[in-house]
Structure 1
Amino acid sequence: MIRVVVVDDEALVRSGFELILGAADDLEVVATTAGAEAVDTVRRECPDVVLLDIRMPDVDGLSVLRQLRVLPKPPVVAMLTTFDADEYIVTALRSGAAGFLLKDTEPDQLAQLVRTLAAGGVVMSPKASRVVWEARPGALDVDGEAATRVGRLTERECEVLVLVAEGLSNAEIGTRIHLSAGTVKDHVSAILTKLRVGSRVQAALLAQRAGLLDDGQRHRERGR
C-alpha cells in the first residue's frame, strides 16, 4: 500500500482527496491535517507521499516542505495549488518538492499521479512546467555553472537525466532504454551526487539551465 497524508487548510479539500484516493486498492490516506499539525502528523504516520497545500493561512507551505525534507526518512512531497502558474513553483521545486498537483485535477487521474510520485517520478501540469523552464535569469543556477556540473556526467547518465526531467519513474526509464529499474536507480543516485543536488526535480532544473533538455529534444527529433 502507498501511504498518503493530505495537508490543506480546507476541510472540504482534505475530505475530497481522501475520498478519491481511498477508492484505489493500492492507496491509503493515513491522515489529513491542516498546516499547523503537518510535521507532527508526518512524523507519526511515516507516509510515502505527502500532498501539501502551498498557500495556507496558518502556516507557510514552503516552510512545512523544508521541515519535511530534513526528516530522517523524508516522504515524497508534491505541492497542491489552485494556480498552475503559481509564483512559488520554482522556490518549492528548488526546496525539494517532487512536483505540483492542481486541486481540480480530474479524479480519475489523481490516483495515478500519486503512484507516479511514490515510484520516484515527477508530476507537473504543462503550464507549471512552462513557469519553471522560463524562470527569470538568476532564479536557478546560471548556465555556465550548470553546464560544468552536467559535463561531469557520462553519456548514459545524461540520457537518464533527460528522461528524469520528463517525469518518468525508474521503471519507466528502464523500459525506455532497456535497463533494469535497479540499474536506473544507481544511475540516478550517481547523477544527484555529481550534480550536487538533493532531488530529481532539482537535477531536471539544472539540466534545463545547462541546455541538456533542448539537446535531448533535438536528438529525439532527429531520430524520428
Structure 2
Amino acid sequence: MVVDDEALVRSGFRLILSAADDIDVVATTTGAEAVDTARRERPDVVLLDIRMPDVDGLTVLGQLRALPGPPVVAMLTTFDADEYVLTALRSGAAGFLLKDTEPDQLAQLVRTLAAGGVVMSPKASRAVWQNHPGAAVHGDEEAGRVGLLSERERQVLVLVAQGLSNGEIGGRIHLSAGTVKDHVSAILTKLRVGSRVQAALLAQRAGLLDEGSRRHPGSAR
C-alpha cells in the first residue's frame, strides 16, 4: 500500500510496483484514509509519506503499528536529511526510501521489507545523524555497545544493516536461518535496541558498514 498526499506520486509508485509479477499494490491512499484502508486491505508492506498536509506521517505510523498484525512500514521522504526520519525509525519504521529512488530498485526494496529486512541508504542515514547533533551524541553512546558483540555477531549486524533478511544472511555466511535469528536476538539484546532498523542505525554510526565494504567490496547491496 502506498500512502502519499500527491496523486502523481501514488500513481507513479503503483505503476512501477505493479510491473513486478510478485508484488500486488492493493491500495494507494492519502494519509487521512490510510489506517481504514490498511484495516480493510491488510497489506504486508506500507510505503508512507513522512510529510503530508492532511495528517502527519508519524501519527499515521503510530496508528498503523498499533493495528493487529501490523504491516511493515517504510517512510517516503524527499530529503535524505529529513528531521523526522530518525523519529520514525525509532518509532518502529523498518527504514526509509527517498522518493527519487531509481525505479528498477524500488521492487527489490519492497521485497526486502516483506522478507523482514531493513531499507536504509548508508549515505542517507549518515546525513540523518550529521544533521542532528543531539542524536549523534546519543548515537555515539549507543554505538559503544557494538564492542560487546562477537566477531560473528558484528558480521551478522553488517548484513542486517545492508538490508538482508535472515535467510539471505544465512546463505551469505553459510548458517541456517534459525541460527541467524538467534544471532540477531543476541545483537538486539547487547545493543539494547528493539528492532533491526535501530541496530542498523548503530552499525552505521559505529562505522561497521565502512569496515564491511573495505573487507568485502563486492558484498554491498
Which bin holds the TM-score, normalised by the shorter protein?
0.7 to 0.9
Q: Which amino acid aligns with 2:114?
A: A
Tell me the equivalent position of 1:67: 63
2:192 alignment partner in structure 1: 196
**1:194 CA displacement:** 3.8
Alpha-carbon separation, structure 1, partners of 2:63 and 2:185: 22
Partner letter of residue 128 of structure 1? A
1:69/1:168 CA distance change after superposition, 3 Å = same
- Paired position in structure 2 for 1:49: 45
Percentage identity across paired residues of the two chains: 82
Corresponding position of 2:140: 143
Contact 2:158–2:209 (8 Å) recurs in 1: no
Q: CA deviation at 1:171?
A: 2.5
CA contact (8 A) 2:157 2:199 kept: yes
- 2:116: which partner in 1? 120
SS at match of 1:66: helix
How far, CA to CA, are the matches of 1:174 and 1:127 in structure 2? 26
Tell me the residue number matched to 1:173.
Answer: 169
Instruction: Give the conservation status (yes or no) of the 8 Å contact 2:4–2:52.
Output: yes
Residue 166 of structure 1, CA deviation: 2.2
Kept in 1: contact 2:42–2:71 (CA 8 A): yes
Rounded Cα–Cα distance in structure 2 between residues aligned with 1:30 and 1:218: 37
Cα separation, 2, equivalents of 1:165 and 1:155: 15
1:87 is aligned to: 83
In the other structure, the counterpart of 1:36 is 32
Q: State the aligned residue count.
A: 216
Residue in 1 that maps onto 2:153: 157
- CA root-mean-square deviation: 2.6
User: What letter matches 1:6 in structure 2?
Assistant: V
Point out where structure 1 has 5 or more consecutive residues left out of the alignment: none
Q: How far apart are the structure 1 equivalents of 2:209 and 2:38?
A: 38
TM-score by length of 1: 0.83
Retained in 1: the 8 A contact 2:112–2:119? yes
The aligned counterpart of 1:58 is: 54
Contact persistence 2:122–2:204 (CA under 8 A): no
- Displacement after TM superposition at 1:218 (Å): 8.6
- When normalised by structure 2's length, the TM-score is 0.84
The reply on whether 1:19 has 2:46 as its aligned counterpart is no
